[in-house]
Amino acid sequence: MITLSLSKMRYDITMPIIDGRIGVDGVTFEQRADSPMVMGDMPALRTGDFGLWDLNLGYWLNGIEAGWDFVTLPLFIKRKSVLQIIWARSDIKSPKELNGKRIGSRSYRTSNTIWARGLLSEHYGVDVASLTWAVQTKEHFPQHTPVKIEQIDPKASLPDMLMNGEIDAMITDISDGALWQRLESHPTIHRLIPDYRSEDLRLHREAGIFTPMHLLVMGGPVARANPDLPRKIYDAFEAAKSLAYQDTLNDRSGLTLVDLREQFVAQQTAWGDPWPYGIKANRRMIDAFVRYNVEQGAIKAPLSDARIFASSTLDT
């Protein structure tokens, strides 16, 4: 038996792994509280001293380029619209009006900001090189192109800075319900792309992108010692997602949403599967994310699939 540490990722599509309904022969999972965020040196990620880690995409390619000892499974287990978390002053009416402005964010390089810059540049005509970034954390990985970055107080409130006019826009996840309601009702702040739901669906259909935030990586030592293990884990998470979908169709998911089953069917009709796993189904998304990282100076050059993903998953 192999004991693999496993991040405590309580997403509905991973819960069948967490609750034990889906298992992997010869593997016992041991949950631990690993942060998906990399704000400095992470010895366990650097040396590969872990089993499975729920990692923010903002540090994925940087870690590989830096030689951190992990392999990637093409399991994009958390996705979220990045367009819905771009807030701006109400006088900024269109994305192009961001040019030359000061943007606040917790960090310059996370999945949120990399995706936002890439999409705003490629699909909305924003000159991201003209932007100044007011950020609260220092970058751990090197920056390969010039960027206008200002360090601000780590304890400062980005929403307050936006409301006070200290920044022109902000890109940050809002996990505080009361703060979200405050932003929603504020008279001088709005979402830069108000109809983000329609835009998300358009980008999904036209560009093959619905922005993933996290993916699963495995420690290099355990992957090398068990070369068939990454594929076994991949297959188990595919089975877990299918079971979670069936829970919803059976009306037994436990989520308190009215007509959840009907909403799920409507979503699948419009989107297909918004949470696809594997390389083939995510080809355009992966290529775009690698390209955005190169364009933004996060990595020096494009990385091949063989360098990015575990070898046993390259045919997924």
Give residue 180's pLDDT: 86
**Is the same domain home to 30 and 129?**
no
Judgement on whether residues 199 and 223 belong to the same structural domain of the protein: no
In this structure, the answer to whether residues 53 and 146 fall within a common structural domain is no
* 90 and 176 both lie in a single domain: yes
Q: Are 118 and 191 within one domain?
A: yes
Domain that holds residue 158: 83-207
Note down pLDDT in tens along the chain; length 316 residues: 899 999 988 899 999 999 999 999 999 999 988 888 887 788 999 999 999 999 999 999 999 999 999 999 999 999 999 999 999 999 999 999 999 999 999 999 999 999 999 999 999 999 999 999 999 999 889 999 999 999 999 999 999 999 999 999 999 988 888 888 888 889 999 999 999 999 999 999 999 999 999 999 999 999 999 999 999 999 999 999 999 999 999 988 888 889 999 999 999 999 999 999 999 999 999 999 999 999 999 999 999 999 999 999 999 9
Instruction: Assess whether 75 and 163 both reside in one domain.
Output: no
Query: Where residue 232 sits, what CATH number does that domain have?
Result: 3.40.190.10
pLDDT given at position 225? 96
Task: Indicate whether 87 and 197 sit together in one domain.
Answer: yes
Judged by phi (left if over 0) then psi (alpha if -120 to 50, else beta), residue 300 lies in: alpha
**pLDDT at residue number 183:** 87
Give the domain-ending residue among 153, 176, 207.
207
CB 194 within 8 A of CB 64: no
Are residues 103 and 65 part of one domain? Answer: no
Residues 273 and 181 in one domain: no
Same domain, 203 and 292: no
157 plus 257 within the same structural domain: no
294 and 306 inside one domain: yes
Name the domain count of the chain.
2
Domain boundary among 207, 229, 263: 207
Q: Which of 207, 232, 267 is the last residue of a domain?
A: 207
